[in-house]
Amino acid sequence: QVQLVESGGGLVQSGGSLTLSCAASEPIFSFSAMVWYRQAPGKQRDLVARITYAGSTNYADSVKGRFTISRDGAKNTVDLQMNSLKPADTAVYYCNVGRGWTNETYWGQGTQVTVSS
């Protein structure tokens, strides 16, 4: 089983920045897609940003222009740079990776991001 460990969460003021990292136990280029989700209390878990094996990216409209997803093959990490943070960004952020060709999907344990007003 693939293991994922998220880090970088914490408390930040509105307008500030954080970088989240997701460290994988297997090479990140063995995954068809790498995704960041988030879930606020009482809300569904929503896709935030995704990057594919080929490097294509897509973002939720609510974070477009503020968040950037990237990958580091040497470190086996997928990162999420979050700028201009808002209180509405407060949530637990989860890393997810998949291998579509084998129907595999894996989740990290989540990391808390809290943005104060």
Above 90 in pLDDT, residue 113? yes
- Give the residue from 72, 62, 3 showing the smallest Cα distance to 37: 62
Tell me which DSSP letter residue 29 carries: G
Which tokens is 58 given?
Answer: 């897509």
Above 90 in pLDDT, residue 45? yes
% of the chain beyond a pLDDT of 70 = 100
Q: What is the pLDDT of residues 59-109, one digit of tens each?
A: 999 999 999 999 999 999 999 999 999 999 999 999 999 998 888 999 999
